[in-house]
């Protein structure tokens, strides 16, 4: 795998990270990887790439399951393409988190003074992420539309529940419960404004009062416009907790130099989670290029993205491992918030083992509905009962796919444990990645999947 720079954290070299940032910024500015991704984005044509494998077979949905073993070659090809689309859809959501929190934290580092190059690098990365997101959405959308049709974009299923028993759906298809407070027509609920004022007061006037000079200019501007505290609910950061907790996280990262640096520990986790499988696409591109063979656009996008992200990963590592040492020792409150953030990131993204997606280390609960729709899509054309049968075979029985995912799991675990060893403020559960260690067991995954599938099967109609 591509090696990241090893940073010397000894007292005599405590400013080497500033020199590394200058080198990283210069090299990133001189590179053209983002531009190449943009060109691939504009020219993408699924029909041109649909007959080619996008990476090795194990980078496929449901790889190693009984269903995959009996699938036709065209179905395996579709599963290979849909894996790319699925993974990079999640990557796009997590990079949207980066766009937000780069701006939040840059405002803090700028207020500190002395970090001009770092702020320029973060601004550059923010702009690059926007282009990455566009490319992922373009290719993912065209791929899903070609393979799944409308089934790839609807979130509804036939349910045995009566309409009055079902939860409402937002325009984006996510379930929500009816809010307890209903404003009269033409009025907005006062709850978000009251909540934001309470969070701002608690964070800035009580817990981080001594850090008031460093309050992010980005957040100040939003506040002056009367806008809510930003809280994204997708991507890795968006899964850390409820919306109020996400606002709390945003405010803390935008109010304290130390806590601003903690975001980059979580960002490094996301960087490495992506790199763990993206490097396989990188190798595929190199092999095809060496052999003079056709390179599908998604493989090329992955290749250039990894090269672009190498600069971003260096930034994450530099801030997470060394920059925080420039600041005052964290208070007990700051250490608690920092560890809460990393614990939650570990819990939501790294504490399980997917049976259906290699390189994913969380429960398959969230994937059951999309997989159910996939099995009834033109790719397989299964009936509802056949779909449930194959879900049971794929998610609730041990198979080769688990062993493949354990390989990815163990490699990432080792990398993160090595990274976190010298971060002195982390609790043992975070430094040693204990939730991830516990999640690398197949038996509990099978038990959880069986329970989730029983609940899902009880909610769908087999007519």
Q: Tens of pLDDT along 319-354?
A: 999 999 999 999 999 999 999 999 999 999 999 999
pLDDT in the model for residue 15:
80
Measuring CA to CA, how many Å separate 70 from each of 30, 81, 390? 48, 18, 11
- The reply to whether 193 falls in a domain is yes
Inter-axis angle of helices 297-321 and 257-291, nearest 10: 150
pTM of the model: 0.88
How many helices and strands, by DSSP H and E, does the chain display? Answer: 19, 2
- The reply to whether 17 falls in a domain is no
Q: Which long-range contacts (CB under 8 A, 24 or more apart) does 113-118 make?
A: 115/18, 117/18, 117/21, 117/22, 117/25, 118/18, 118/21, 118/25, 118/315, 118/319, 118/323
- The reply to whether 385 falls in a domain is yes
Name the domain count of the chain.
1
| pLDDT (mean) for 167-195 | 42
Q: How many Å apart are CA 121 and CA 311, to the nearest integer?
A: 9
- The reply to whether 166 falls in a domain is no
- Residue 152 predicted with pLDDT over 90: no
In 3D space, the residue among 82, 102, 84 whose CA is nearest the CA of residue 94 turns out to be 102
pLDDT in the model for residue 14:
52
- The reply to whether 6 falls in a domain is no
User: Residue 154: which pLDDT band, with cuts at 50, 70 and 90?
Assistant: low
- The reply to whether 161 falls in a domain is no
State the DSSP code for 203.
I
pLDDT in the model for residue 191:
52
CB atoms near residue 31 (< 10 Å): 16
- The reply to whether 134 falls in a domain is yes
- The reply to whether 16 falls in a domain is no
pLDDT in the model for residue 174:
36
Domain that holds residue 325: 22-156+189-457
User: Residue 173: which pLDDT band, with cuts at 50, 70 and 90?
Assistant: very low
As a whole-number percent, the residues of the chain with pLDDT over 70 amount to: 88
């Amino acid at each position: 795998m591509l090696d990241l720079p090893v940073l010397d954290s000894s007292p005599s070299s405590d400013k080497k990270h500033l020199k590394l940032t200058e080198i990283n910024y210069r090299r990133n500015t001189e590179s053209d990887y983002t531009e190449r991704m943009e060109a691939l984005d504009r020219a993408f044509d699924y029909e041109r790439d649909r007959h080619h494998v996008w990476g090795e077979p194990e980078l496929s949905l449901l790889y190693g399951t009984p269903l995959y073993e009996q699938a036709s070659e065209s179905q395996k090809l579709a599963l290979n393409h849909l894996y790319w689309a699925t993974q990079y859809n999640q990557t796009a959501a997590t990079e949207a988190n980066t766009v937000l929190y780069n701006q939040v934290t840059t405002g803090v580092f700028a207020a500190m003074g002395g970090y001009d190059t770092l702020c320029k690098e973060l601004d550059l990365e923010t702009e690059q992420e926007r282009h990455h997101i566009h490319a992922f959405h373009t290719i993912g959308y065209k791929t899903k539309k070609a393979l799944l049709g409308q089934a790839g974009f609807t979130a509804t299923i036939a349910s045995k529940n009566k309409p009055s028993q079902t939860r409402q759906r937002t325009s984006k298809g996510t379930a929500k419960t009816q809010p307890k407070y209903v404003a009269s027509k033409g009025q907005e609920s006062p709850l978000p404004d009251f909540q934001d004022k309470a969070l701002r007061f608690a964070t800035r006037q009580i817990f981080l009062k001594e850090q008031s000079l460093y309050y992010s200019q980005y957040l100040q501007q939003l506040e002056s416009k009367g806008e809510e505290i930003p809280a994204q609910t997708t991507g890795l950061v968006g899964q850390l907790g409820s919306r109020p907790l996400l606002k709390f996280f945003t405010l803390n990262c935008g109010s304290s130099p130390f806590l601003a640096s903690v975001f980059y520990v979580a960002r490094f986790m996301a960087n490495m989670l992506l790199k763990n499988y993206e490097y396989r696409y990188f190798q595929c591109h190199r092999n095809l290029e060496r052999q003079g063979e056709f390179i599908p656009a998604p493989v090329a996008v992955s290749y250039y993205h990894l090269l672009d992200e190498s600069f971003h990963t260096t930034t994450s590592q530099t801030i997470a491992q060394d920059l925080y040492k420039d600041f005052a020792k964290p208070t007990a409150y700051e250490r608690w918030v920092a560890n809460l953030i990393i614990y939650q990131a570990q819990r939501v993204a790294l504490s399980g083992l997917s049976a259906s997606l290699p390189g994913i280390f969380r429960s398959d609960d969230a994937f059951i509905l999309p997989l159910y729709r996939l099995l009834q899509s033109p790719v397989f054309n299964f009936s509802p009962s056949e779909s449930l049968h194959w879900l049971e075979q794929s998610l609730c029985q041990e198979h080769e796919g688990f062993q493949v995912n354990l390989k990815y799991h163990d490699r990432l675990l080792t990398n993160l444990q090595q990274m976190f060893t010298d971060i002195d403020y982390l609790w043992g559960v975070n430094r040693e990645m204990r939730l991830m260690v516990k999640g690398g067991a197949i038996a509990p995954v099978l038990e959880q999947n069986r329970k989730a599938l029983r609940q899902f099967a009880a909610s769908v109609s087999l007519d």
